[in-house]
Amino acid sequence: MNCTLKLYLKRLGLTALCLVPAHAFAQETPAPAPAETTPAPVATPPSVAAKPAVTSKWDSTFYGFIEADTIYDTTQAYNDAPGNALIPANTTFAGQKPKLQFSVRNSRLGYKIAAPEFSGLKLSGIAEMDFLGNQPGDSSVTVTGGATGEKAAISQSESSVWNNPAFRARHLVLKAENAYVDAWFGQTWNLFGGQSVVHPASVFIQGLPGQVYGRTAQIRLLHTFKTDAVNVEIAVAAARAPQSAAAMPDLQAALKVQLNGWKGVHTNGSTGTGYDPLTVSVSGIYRTLDLSIDPTATARTTNGWGVSIDAFLPILRGTPEDRSNALAVTASYVMGAGIADQYSGMKTGVGAPSGVSIDSNLATNDASKNPTAVKLNSMLFGLQYYLPFATGKWWLAGNFSTWGSDNAKDLVVANGGKAGAALKSGQFISGALFFDPTPAFRVGAEFAQTKTTLGDDTSNTNNRGQFSAFYLF
């Protein structure tokens, strides 16, 4: 390296380059590399070697779907969810006029998170919400009317209900699981009704007419006895009762048996396509209903109860990768009293006694002024078949249900009402077609007819058609 270049590099503070031999900058063919030698092993720093291995991490999943519904009814009996309302008579305005609804309210967001296992204890939580919440009335706006000119708050406008739906909690639950017993705390599916494996496939927003369907806050204890062939789950729960004034929780229990070697494809509701084992569940519910109005008198209570037998039966099983020709059945039979809240919007025509803090349709006084629970029974049968082409991306679903009350008419009449205001029975039948253009995109269309028969043996009918599109994530 010449002296002028060395002096220039020193001025730049690059003295080290002055020590580089001049031939390193020459443009010539490099000399052959020396023979390879095995490098000496590098010792692991003590601080790294002593650090324990990470065996588990926090695990989280974000999931949900966007749903867009178009719904046409031949009466004004229902909102977007059909539920179990009494269909208005065809002599009334609501029974003669149709209804068209566009809705995104059933769209859903969910988040699951699991903590690292600690001393054999597994902790996880689910927060799942949708937009089917109740819109409150607007108390800041009043209208004047009636013979006495009284003022009353008006309900929210249709624009508010459908374009600004209320966010609602579906599942908010903590699960603590170990080898001996699992404990759940928070709001999730009721044990009663075998939920949710036995839910039928339908484009409609559930619960369907005649379907036990619901979630509530509870403390649940369960244990699953697992073998290769069969799982047996035993569970009990103390759940939020429909009447807080009774000062007693709902008591629920369930026995569920699953055959692990017999699994099949099926869809719960409109979006929950899965691969589950044959399942049979027997569950029960017991509650206290208090019709007292005088705190100094003897409590006037009656008991509510229910028994539910439910099953998911994969007949032709299919696989998650190819659902072609899969055939599955869901079935449910329920009987009980004072359990109207276990159905979606169940209406029996039976009102709450005056002055008693209890929801309608649960219990009232009979002709002898004795507290009496409203009896209910129901049956729901569902069928779904995945067509034998395109790996089962097309499938058909059909549902049939009946429900009724043996004493609703007597209770309504005993309290001064008319037999024609009470539920005697109901019947629902539907057929649906689903298609998955992609794993994340689903469309479905369904037609159904619902009939309710009243205590005076008059019947009223509603026909519903619905088309829905779903983006699944």
Q: Which of 186, 191, 193 is nearest to 207 (CA)?
A: 193
- pLDDT recorded at residue 324: 97
- pLDDT recorded at residue 154: 54
Residue 127 vs residues 175, 186, 205, 344: alpha-carbon distances, Å: 12, 10, 20, 22
Amino acid at position 394, single letter:
W
| Domains of the chain listed by start with CATH number | 57-133+161-472 (2.40.160.10)
Tell me the residue length of the chain: 473
- pLDDT recorded at residue 52: 47
Contact at 8 Å (CB) between 145 and 91? no
Strand ranges inside 41-149, DSSP E: 59-73, 99-103, 108-114, 122-133, 138-145
Contact at 8 Å (CB) between 255 and 328? no
Q: How far apart are CA 403 and CA 332, in angstroms?
A: 11
- pLDDT recorded at residue 134: 84
Q: How far apart are CA 220 and CA 205, in angstroms?
A: 27
Q: How far apart are CA 35 and CA 23, in angstroms?
A: 22
Place of tokens 């699951």: 112
- pLDDT recorded at residue 56: 60
pLDDT digits 0-9 by tens, 292-342: 988 877 779 999 999 999 999 999 999 999 999 999 999 999 999 999 999
Q: Tally Cβ neighbours within 10 Å of residue 87.
A: 24
Contact at 8 Å (CB) between 192 and 284? yes
Q: How far apart are CA 217 and CA 171, in angstroms?
A: 9
CA angle at residue 143 from 142 to 149, to 5 degrees?
120
Q: How far apart are CA 379 and CA 463, in angstroms?
A: 20
For the chain, list residues with pLDDT below 70. Answer: 1-56, 137-155
Amino acid at position 236, single letter:
V
Q: How far apart are CA 242 and CA 250, in angstroms?
A: 8
Contact at 8 Å (CB) between 361 and 348? yes
Cβ neighbours of residue 181 closer than 8 Å, sequence gap 6 or more: 221, 222, 223
Please name every residue paired with 273 in a beta bridge, in sequence order, or none if there are none. Answer: 267
DSSP-derived secondary structure letter, 10: H
For the entire predicted model, the pTM comes to: 0.83
Contact at 8 Å (CB) between 114 and 101? no
Amino acid at position 355, single letter:
G
DSSP-derived secondary structure letter, 26: S
